[in-house]
Amino acid sequence: MSELDMTAVYGMHDALRREVIQLSRLTVRLGQDPRRDLRWRRFKQSLRRHFAAEDQALWPPLRRSLAHRADRLTLLEALEAEHAALEELIDAIDELHADTEAGLGGLGDLTDSLVTGLTGHLKHEEDTALPLIGQTLTARQWARFTRLHTRPAGLDRWSATP
């Protein structure tokens, strides 16, 4: 069992799940464009901050510690590929023109895909990566991630664009 306190990560995962589902409901059930909602910008910023903290403070020390375990490195590559796919979905949502009925329908399809992709990714992290992190990272490495992960938005070095 890990001695690392992962409360903040599980809390962030729960918040991301809740928000992406709410945004999808706005689009699919109410026929609204979520991009016009402040929640969309905040959701994107939160998700990107979460990914950036993982990219900066989790994956590099894990790669170093697991360099001799190709099977574990494959897991990290899969998680990074999931990040990239989710970023592509967000970009596609932002770029879609919703000024036609077909555009709004496409927006609903994309937000559904984002819900499916993100919830699957978060479960994948919780089921495979977090136990591995608990077995591999030191308390100091975890503390660095937690600092980056919970840093107030105005202090981001990687501040994501709205």
* Separation CA 48–CA 135 (nearest Å): 25
On whether residue 2 sits in a domain, the answer given is no
Is the residue at 159 inside a domain? no
Q: What is the pLDDT of residue 155?
A: 43
With a pLDDT cut of 90, the percent of the chain lying above it is: 61
Is 115 part of a structural domain of the chain?
A: yes
CATH code for position 23 = 1.20.120.520
Give the pLDDT of residue 159: 42
> Do 23 and 39 touch, CB atoms closer than 8 A?
yes
**Does residue 72 form part of some domain?**
yes
- How many other CB atoms sit within 10 Å of the CB of residue 152? 6
Asked if pLDDT for residue 154 goes beyond 60, the answer is no
Q: Total structural domains in the chain?
A: 1
Does 158 fall in a domain? no
> What pTM did the predictor assign?
0.85
With a cut of 90, say whether residue 133 has pLDDT above it.
yes
pLDDT tens-digit readout, 59-110: 999 999 999 988 889 999 999 999 999 999 999 888 876 555 555 667 888 9
Q: Is residue 58 part of a domain?
A: yes
Range with lowest mean pLDDT among 4-8, 60-64, 93-97, 143-147: 93-97
| Distance of alpha carbon 33 from the chain centroid | 21
Task: Provide the domain limits for residue 107.
Answer: 7-152
* pLDDT attached to residue 151: 77
* Residue 129 forms part of a structural domain: yes
Find the helix packing angle between 101-124 and 7-28, rounded to 10°.
160
122 assigned to some structural domain: yes
Q: What is the pLDDT of residue 103?
A: 58
Label residues 118-148 b or e (16+ Cβ within 10 Å = b): beebbeebeeebbebbeebbeeebbebbbeb
